[in-house]
Amino acid sequence: MRTLVLIVMGLLGSNVLAADNQPAATCEVIVDFSKSAGKIRPLNGVNNGPFVDGNHTADMNARHKEAAFPSVRLHDCHWPNPNVVDIPSIFPLFHADADDPKNYVFGPTDKYLAPIAERGAEIVYRLGVSIEHRTRYHTRPPADYEKWAKICVNVIKHYNDGWAGGKHYGITYFEIWNEPDIGPRMWTGTPQQYFDLYRTAVTAIKAYNPALKIGGQVSFVKGKYTKPFLAYCRDQKLPLDFFSWHIYSDTPTALMDDARLIRSLLDEHGFKKAESLCTEWRPMIEGFDKVSWEQGRPAGSVRAAFARNRNHESDAFTASALMQMQDVPLDRAHYYTADDSPWSMFDEFGEPGKVFFAFKAFNRFLQTTNRVVVTGAPGGDGVTACCAIADDAKSAGLLLSNYRGKPADLHITLKDFPLSGDVKVERFIVDETHDCAPLEPLSLGGTNRILSFRLPPATVVFVRLSQ
């Protein structure tokens, strides 16, 4: 049997969509299966592993396997009361002997990492501390940089080389601290103090294992740390295997702009081989002001703001971003987050919001690997399209999304379509009230390979075509 898999992010014309009476624009999309556009990149990584301790929590392990997140970055784990991953959680008494395994508390972090490693996901391990919005217990610069670096090396030895009854996970990426540029919530020191901490840490880790990839970190690409840090590493001739950065926005365009900017800055400073990692990104349809509690704010308003940031609108944003990232110079991307925090694509009970289903659909899309040229979709906040075909040319995937553009009457021409004869079209919808619910099947027959349907904003549809 020859099968074509078509993933459509947005709405396909059906009786489910009849209530959409908004004026629509016509959008002519051409999918040219004869022209290659490179490989689909697995940029569907996330922050943090599944929460598995609460008896009130759904089986998030199963959901993580379902979406098959390829890469997991570790930061703010078990937030807001982190007891894993962070250096102070693993080595709580900084005055103790850093060479004595008895002074390390690895058990909780071992448990936390186990389901991630067992699933085979790549781990990006942040060496440092979690954010503290109202306290400053651990965001001060370490009292002794050399000792802190030695502790980091021993953490790496535990998870890669079995030290102190440890593991052999083969973790490659290690990130030095998190968001030192946002102030005392993450770093009470100066920029120079962070730069010196990076120098001490990267020197010690590379002396232990030069094959490990070590990177520095900022929150804002355009912030006050980025250029001075890159200049410092250049002038000090320090290794910089990757540079990680964050973006929270209500438009995918901002993410793409920052990805291009940081690549150009890395190249300008002589780090043309350094990878660019967006280790935190997410839709912020409701901004930081709406997700922050204030005296007098209506009850439930913060909860509602977080809920909107994981709803069907954010689902369409996510789908658009995952596709648009394919065309920018970006090596890894990690959505924030996939645990049980308010920032997650899951709620506090482990139930998935709509964003999860964008990742589930994108994972299915990744089962095809070779991109083909798609033209006619404007991108940005409107219609975004991406298509790929499998190595054997017997299956393919197409994603389309309309984040918040006008409803679009799409006419999709499948040029040099690899399947002949009648094609069965199965459709599954994700919108405000449906989670991959099936619609009635369609048929695509004859030689005129054109799909026509309306694509309103804030909806996802998965379509499978088969003979």
Going from the C-alpha of 299 to that of each of 52, 287, 291, 307, the distances in angstroms are 29, 18, 12, 14
Question: Helix 60-67 crosses helix 107-118 at what angle (to 10 degrees)?
Answer: 40
Q: Indicate the helix (H) or strand (E) that contains 337.
A: none
Going from the C-alpha of 342 to that of each of 214, 287, 306, 307, 310, the distances in angstroms are 29, 14, 6, 8, 10
Task: Spell 400-429 as b/e; 16+ CB within 10 A means b.
Answer: bbbbbbbbbebebbbeebbbeeebebbbbb
CATH of domain 3-40+368-466: 2.60.40.1180
Residues 125, 336: Cα–Cα separation, whole Å: 15
Domain 45-365 has CATH 3.40.50.800: no
| Range(s) within the chain of domains with CATH label 3.20.20.80 | 45-365
Is the Cβ–Cβ distance between 153 and 142 less than 8 Å?
no
DSSP state of 204: H
DSSP state of 346: B
Going from the C-alpha of 439 to that of each of 20, 45, 341, the distances in angstroms are 16, 29, 33
Is the Cβ–Cβ distance between 332 and 124 less than 8 Å?
yes
Residues 71, 84: Cα–Cα separation, whole Å: 18
| Range(s) within the chain of domains with CATH label 2.60.40.1180 | 3-40+368-466
pTM over 0.85? The answer is yes
- What does the pLDDT profile of the chain (467 residues) look like in tens digits? 444 555 554 445 443 444 456 788 999 999 999 999 999 999 999 999 998 778 888 999 999 999 999 999 999 999 999 999 999 999 999 999 999 999 999 999 999 999 999 999 999 999 999 999 999 999 999 999 999 999 999 999 999 999 999 999 999 999 999 999 999 999 999 999 999 999 999 999 999 999 999 999 999 999 999 999 999 999 999 999 999 999 999 999 999 999 999 999 999 999 999 999 999 999 999 999 999 998 988 999 999 999 999 999 999 999 999 999 999 999 999 999 999 999 999 999 999 999 999 999 899 889 889 999 999 999 999 999 999 888 887 777 888 899 999 999 989 898 988 877 777 777 777 788 888 778 777 767 666 688 888 888 997 777 777 77
